[in-house]
Amino acid sequence: MRSDLVGEPVRPIEVVEYGTAVFEGVRLTASDRRLLDGGTFDSRLRVRQLSGDRLEVTAYQYVGTVRLESCEIRVLPKYLGTDLDVLRMLDHAWSGARDPLPTRQDFLAGAPKLRDLVCLMVVEHGERLLRRGVRHDYLTVEDDLRIVRGRFLPDRQLLRHHGRLDRLACRFEEHDADIDDNRLCAAALALAARTARVPAVRARARRAAGLFAQHAPTPPGDVRAVLSGLTYHRHNEHYRPAHLWSGLLLTGGGLGGLFTSGPLASRAFLVDMNRLFEAFVTRLLEQGAAGTGLRVDKQVDERRVLRDERTGRSYGAVRPDVLISGLRAGGPYRLPVDMKYKLYGGKKLSPADLYQAFVYAHTLGRPAEGEPPVCALLYPGDASTRHDRVAVRVIDGPVAARVRSVPVDLPAVLAGLAGPDPQGVPARLFGEVLPRARS
């Protein structure tokens, strides 16, 4: 991994996620106001122009950058140390490819910024695919030829070339590299070549983008539709990490976000830490459940819980983030798990989170015999964070359900995944989530 991220943008301003800061000497341009007044950033970032050329910025759970003409707003992670840690979470949650990622020692100056890191990963994987050779596949093509190739189309011939024998309408299979696998990479490399802040990264992106454009000149269109329609098999499995980084860059930081490819994606890159935390921890639980006889299902809609008594139909779905199920202690077992990207620290769990967790526990939980149902509530926290066990009792009655809070020490988990025993990290977390079985 080469150390290319050495440049610094002009007039950066920084704010920590879930924080508010006021900056002096910053005045939004007319273009900035049009971009911000469109409502695109309402749930991600709030920017207000104050009197005296002061700018107030309020951040939420999104980290990354927004490039304006007047400044570049950087939202820094509050709980994690650097943008590099966010990159590692992204890789583990969605990539699944154990390719070497950059380390802090790989950079010559300053902490790397998240969007620059993603641009670098797009270039790294694009170059790797070019060295291996881009994939070709058979595409169905309809064209007018001088001789018959494939299948002759009499209806099209009659409508378009009636009475002519020098132009024949045909449908045939073409073995070509201009396919979605390569179009996504080509589009992401072209975007990195135009917008990467560091000259060395832009130069590498331009070279790779030029080579990919020769193979896949057709734009991918709706990036999210292409990503959702991709299927992986033995011929294109090696494209998966390249598609992850390309999708992140082209959609502006979120595979399911509001941003799409285009001018906005080149100016804004914001990652939803709430969604990333959920995907990251879910992946750890899936890995930790291996060999235990328990299954981890993510976001399963259960429509048998809420019923409209007037019509008898489902009134809505109950959907925990994760449902752990299987056989435990000789009997059937279910444990709903809810995840909240909230920095509770020494605070109590919020009533809203408790109420939601209680519904999951009471309706979906199936504990060991003789125990009340349980829901595990996971959130970021270190070893000093309190482990709450909240019992929900019927008035003057027994415990109806129990909510267990389990803090996840993200820096320690990331350090463990990069250490000598990465397989032990998911197993330990999975063991902490499960309540101890009665002897």
| Statement to judge: residues 32 and 155 lie in one domain | no
DSSP string, 277-300: HHHHHHHHHHHHTTTTTEEEEES-
**With 50 as the cut, is the pLDDT of residue 182 above it?**
yes
Predicted local distance difference test score (pLDDT) of residue 338: 95
Q: Give the pLDDT band of residue 283 (cuts 50, 70, 90).
A: very high
| Statement to judge: residues 270 and 377 lie in one domain | no
**How far separated are the first and last CA of the chain, in Å rounded?**
51
Q: For residue 211, what are the domain limits?
A: 12-134+179-274
Q: Give the pLDDT band of residue 107 (cuts 50, 70, 90).
A: low
Rounded Cα–Cα distance for residues 303 and 289 (Å):
26
Structure tokens at 147: 């001789």
Mean pLDDT of 220-249: 88
| Statement to judge: residues 298 and 366 lie in one domain | yes
279 falls within a domain = no
| Statement to judge: residues 190 and 330 lie in one domain | no
388 falls within a domain = yes
Predicted local distance difference test score (pLDDT) of residue 210: 95
Q: Judge whether 180 and 220 are in contact, CB under 8 Å.
A: yes
**With 90 as the cut, is the pLDDT of residue 259 above it?**
no
Predicted local distance difference test score (pLDDT) of residue 96: 54
Predicted local distance difference test score (pLDDT) of residue 253: 77
Structure tokens at 282: 């879910």
Predicted local distance difference test score (pLDDT) of residue 268: 80
| Statement to judge: residues 344 and 386 lie in one domain | yes
| Statement to judge: residues 17 and 78 lie in one domain | yes
| Statement to judge: residues 149 and 130 lie in one domain | no
Mean pLDDT of 340-369: 87
Mean pLDDT of 266-290: 90
Q: Burial of 104 by CB count in 10 Å (0-12 exposed, 13-18 middle, 19+ buried)? A: exposed
| Statement to judge: residues 150 and 247 lie in one domain | no
Q: Which of 184-188, 256-260, 275-279 has the lowest mean pLDDT?
A: 256-260
Higher-pLDDT residue of 253 and 187 is 187
| Statement to judge: residues 149 and 65 lie in one domain | no
- Of 125, 148, 176, the position where a domain reaches its end is 176
Higher-pLDDT residue of 8 and 335 is 335
**With 50 as the cut, is the pLDDT of residue 257 above it?**
no
145 falls within a domain = yes
Alpha helices in 161-250 (DSSP H): 180-195, 199-215, 223-229, 240-250
E strand spans, 7-136: 12-16, 20-24, 45-50, 54-59, 62-67, 72-76
- Of 241, 274, 307, the position where a domain reaches its end is 274
| Statement to judge: residues 354 and 406 lie in one domain | yes
| Statement to judge: residues 127 and 104 lie in one domain | yes
DSSP letter, residue 92: I
User: In total, how many domains does the chain have?
Assistant: 3
**With 90 as the cut, is the pLDDT of residue 104 above it?**
no
Q: Give the pLDDT band of residue 102 (cuts 50, 70, 90).
A: low
Q: Give the pLDDT band of residue 285 (cuts 50, 70, 90).
A: very high
Higher-pLDDT residue of 219 and 387 is 219
Predicted local distance difference test score (pLDDT) of residue 256: 46
359 falls within a domain = yes
Rounded Cα–Cα distance for residues 371 and 367 (Å):
6
Predicted local distance difference test score (pLDDT) of residue 239: 92
4 falls within a domain = no
402 falls within a domain = yes
Mean pLDDT of 352-369: 89
Average pLDDT of every residue of the chain:
84
Predicted local distance difference test score (pLDDT) of residue 181: 92
Mean pLDDT of 157-165: 83
**With 90 as the cut, is the pLDDT of residue 57 above it?**
yes
281 falls within a domain = no
Mean pLDDT of 353-367: 91
Predicted local distance difference test score (pLDDT) of residue 379: 92
Rounded Cα–Cα distance for residues 263 and 162 (Å):
45
Predicted local distance difference test score (pLDDT) of residue 439: 43
Predicted local distance difference test score (pLDDT) of residue 383: 73
Q: Which of 17-31, 111-125, 203-217, 348-362 has the lowest mean pLDDT?
A: 111-125
**With 50 as the cut, is the pLDDT of residue 378 above it?**
yes
25 falls within a domain = yes
Predicted local distance difference test score (pLDDT) of residue 278: 93
| Statement to judge: residues 196 and 265 lie in one domain | yes
